[in-house]
Amino acid sequence: MFTGIITDIGTVEALEPRGDLRARIGTAYDTGRIEIGASIACDGVCLTVVALGEGWFDADISAETVSKTNIGDWVQGRRINLERALKVGDELGGHIVSGHVDGVAEVVALTDEGESTRMRFRAPEALARFVAPKGSVALNGTSLTVNEVEGVEFGINVIPHTKEVTTWGDVAVGDRINLEIDTLARYVARLQEWGG
């Protein structure tokens, strides 16, 4: 489990197809304190550490995960948001994030508003109904609050601090973004399907 509060910006150092995809991620985390088998959210995708060294870790990524996320867009040198898994007693500053990406949204508009940036996204049709004004979404692993929803499109606002400590300062129109809907929204919708 994660909170959607990004704690490092990693760099894709290498991508190696081996049946699955092996990714080497450069990080400022103290890798001496990371265990093999640990979970790290990489742009919102929960990946398992399979090897590590000073300043890097490797993760194997299945073809299924590549097909359901923006990992197919990764190239060497790409910056990605990182978050270590929650430990008992950690502050829950964002919202509960599983690291199981539901689909990919597209950036359709960027508008500067003072020092902040208003960002508009197009969600996949099947996921749009789970996105609600003032609700939470995880976008590339970052817990963000939804401002407005119009059909399959929704908007969020990114403040300067968030742009500095995440990759949100790098975003461009047309970018494909990992979207994880709020777990509570998923269960409320499921209960309604059953007449609950």
Report pLDDT digits (tens) over 43-55. 999 999 999 999 9
Determine the average pLDDT of the residues in 166-189. Answer: 89
pLDDT at 190 over 70: no
Name the phi and psi angles at 145, rounded to 5: -95, 130
Task: State the pLDDT at residue 168.
Answer: 97
Lowest mean pLDDT across 91-105, 139-153, 179-193: 179-193
Considering the chain, what percentage of its residues have pLDDT values greater than 90?
A: 84
Q: Which domain holds residue 144?
A: 103-193
24, 54, 84 - which closes a domain: 84
Determine the average pLDDT of the residues in 157-170. Answer: 97
Beta strand extents in the chain (DSSP E only): 8-18, 20-26, 39-42, 45-53, 56-61, 79-84, 103-113, 116-122, 136-139, 142-150, 153-158, 176-181
Task: State the pLDDT at residue 196.
Answer: 53
User: 113 and 55 in one domain?
Assistant: no
Pairing mode of beta strands 153-158, 142-150: antiparallel
User: Do 155 and 118 meet the contact criterion of CB atoms below 8 Å apart?
Assistant: yes
User: 121 and 178 in one domain?
Assistant: yes
Kindly state the tokens that stand for 112.
Answer: 């500067």
Q: Is residue 2 part of a domain?
A: no
Kindly state the tokens that stand for 33.
Answer: 């304190």
DSSP state of 165: H
User: 80 and 150 in one domain?
Assistant: no
Task: State the pLDDT at residue 195.
Answer: 66
User: 181 and 139 in one domain?
Assistant: yes
List pLDDT tens digits, range 89-136. 777 777 889 999 999 999 999 999 999 999 999 999 999 999 999 999
Q: Is residue 93 part of a domain?
A: no
Give the number of domains in the chain: 2
List pLDDT tens digits, range 54-64. 999 999 999 99
pLDDT at 6 over 60: yes
Tell me the CATH number at 21. Answer: 2.40.30.20
Residues with Cβ < 8 Å from 56, sequence gap 6 or more?
13, 24, 25, 26, 27, 31
pLDDT at 25 over 70: yes
Q: Is residue 1 part of a domain?
A: no
- Label residues 141-166 b or e (16+ Cβ within 10 Å = b): bbbbebeebeebbbbbebeeebbebb
User: Do 154 and 121 meet the contact criterion of CB atoms below 8 Å apart?
Assistant: yes
